[in-house]
Chains A and B, each alone.
Chain A
C-alpha cells in the first residue's frame, strides 16, 4: 500500500514589491540614483524591468519609493540581486549619492504571488499605461479563512470600485516577508477625487454594508480585519500597463 501524496506544486510567477521608506526630504535626490544607475544596472545583471515605479506621499510609509518586479524563480532572483550588489559601480554611485546623509529609513522587500481572484478581475477593455493615482492596500485577513477573505474583497469591494472608475491593476497574496495572511490590491484611478469619492462611498454604502453584515453574522467575525492604505503616483515613464500586463 502506498501513501496518498499531496499534489505537486508548480509556482511560475512571483512579484517582488520593494517599499523604500524614505527619510523626509531625502527622496528627490534619490531619484537620479535609481534612474541613472540602478535601473540601467538591473538590465546589466538580468533583473527584469520594473512593472511600475511609484512615489507615495499619502500613507503610513510616506515619503515612499516603491516598485514591482516579476520573477519566474526565486533562486534566479537571489542570483541576479547578488550580482547587482556585487558590482562596484553600484557601491560607488550609492556612496556618492548618500554622501549628503542617509536617504532611506527602512526598506520592506516582499515577495507576492497573484491572488486566485486576479483572473476574474482582469479587465481587457482597459489598455495602455495607467497614470493618475494608484491605491496600494494591504488587507489583513482572518488567518483561518484567507481564501474567503480574498473572495470577499474580489466579489464585494472591488466590483463596487470598478463601477466607480477604479481599474484593478492586480490582486496578490503575501508569500514572503509580509504579514501572513494578507491580500494586496493595487487599483488605478484617473484622478485623486474619483478615488476619494469611491473610497468614502465604499465605506458607507448600504448595499456593501449588507453584504459584509450577512457574512459577519453568519460567521461571527469579519473576513477582513483591517487594511493599511497607501496612495501612490506612478513616476513618468514608469506607469504600469493595464492589468499589470496580464491579459
Chain B
C-alpha cells in the first residue's frame, strides 16, 4: 500500500481556481457523461478517489493544497495518472481556468508507506468523515535511527497526542522524496483551539519529556531533528475517514 502525497504550492489568490479544478476532475461527474450517469474523469482512468483533500492553514508556501491518493501498485498508478494528464477534457478545463497564467508554483509528489505501528494507533472504523482541524507532522531524523524513531513515535509521542485529543489518521515512512529518512503523522483535532493547547502541552508532556531525557542520556542527542508542521483545513467535499478509510 502506498500513499501519494500531492502537495501544491498554489499561486497566491488562485486557491479557488485550483480547488475547483481538482474537485471537478477527481470528485464531480465528468462533464461529457449522459445525464444520470456517474463517474469523474479520474474514475475514467481508474485513479482512486483521494483519501482526503486539505488546504494549509499554517506552514511553508501557503496557500497550499494537499491531497493523498492511495495506490496498491505504482505500476497501476503509472498506467492511470499519466493518461489522465493527457485527457482532452482535462486539458481544456485546465486551460480555461489558468488563462495562460501560473496556477501552481510548484508541486511535491511524495510516496509514503503506512508503518506497521500504525495498526496499534488506529481508531474505531466509522463511515463518518473527520471535520475539525488536521495536522501533518513530518519528522526528520538521522539515517540509521528509523526503527527506533518509529517505535518512539508509536509508543510515546503519538499516544501522548491521542491523550490530548488527537485522532491518528495515519503514520507513515517516506519511501520516495527528499531528506529521507522522514516519518510523517497525520492527526485530526476536533478544533484549532484543542490543537494549539495540545501541541503546547505535548511539548511538556511527562512521557515525552522523559523520553527525550532518555535519548540524551543514551546517545548525547535527541532522536528527532527538525519537525516540519502544517495545520490543515479538511475540504468538506472530501474529508478523510478514520484511518484514511483503511480496512481493519
Docked pose: A26 CA to B192 CA in angstroms: 23
- A225 close to chain B: CB less than 8 A: yes
Indicate the member of B57, B208, B211, B224 with the most A CB atoms within 10 Å.
B57
Supposing A28-B203, A59-B229 touch, asked if A204 and B15 sit within 8 A by C-beta, the answer is: yes
- A220 close to chain B: CB less than 8 A: yes
**Which residue of A has the minimal Cβ distance to B202?**
A57
Docked pose: A231 CA to B196 CA in angstroms: 9
A62 pairs with B229, CB closer than 8 A: yes
CB within 8 Å of B: which of A193-247? 193, 195-196, 199-200, 203-204, 206, 208-209, 212-213, 216-217, 220-222, 224-231, 233
Which residues on the A side are within 8 Å of B17 (C-beta)?
209
CB within 8 Å of A: which of B174-229? 191-193, 195-196, 199-200, 202-204, 208-209, 211-213, 216, 220-222, 224-229
B-side binding surface: helix, strand, loop or mixed?
mixed
Which residues on the A side are within 8 Å of B227 (C-beta)?
24, 62-63
**Which residue of A has the minimal Cβ distance to B10?**
A226
Indicate the member of B13, B59, B233 with the most A CB atoms within 10 Å.
B13
**Which residue of B has the minimal Cβ distance to A226?**
B61
Supposing A27-B203, A216-B101 touch, asked if A208 and B13 sit within 8 A by C-beta, the answer is: yes
**Which residue of B has the minimal Cβ distance to A153?**
B12
From B15, B199, B228, contact of A57 by CB (8 A): B199
- B111 close to chain A: CB less than 8 A: no
Docked pose: A204 CA to B6 CA in angstroms: 20
Which residues on the A side are within 8 Å of B212 (C-beta)?
23-26, 101
Sorted from nearest, which 10 A-B pairs have the closest CB atoms?
Answer: A212-B13, A57-B199, A101-B216, A25-B212, A28-B204, A192-B192, A224-B12, A229-B58, A226-B61, A227-B62
19 intermolecular pairs with C-beta atoms under 8 Å apart = A21-B226, A25-B203, A25-B222, A57-B199, A58-B57, A58-B195, A60-B60, A60-B228, A62-B227, A105-B226, A133-B196, A191-B193, A196-B57, A196-B192, A222-B102, A225-B12, A226-B62, A227-B12, A228-B59
Binding site for B on A (CB under 8 A): 21, 23-28, 55, 57-60, 62-63, 100-102, 105, 133, 137, 139, 191-193, 195-196, 199-200, 203-204, 206, 208-209, 212-213, 216-217, 220-222, 224-231, 233
| 6 extra interface residue pairs, beta carbon distance < 8 Å, beyond A204-B16, A221-B102 | A25-B222, A59-B231, A105-B225, A196-B233, A216-B14, A227-B63
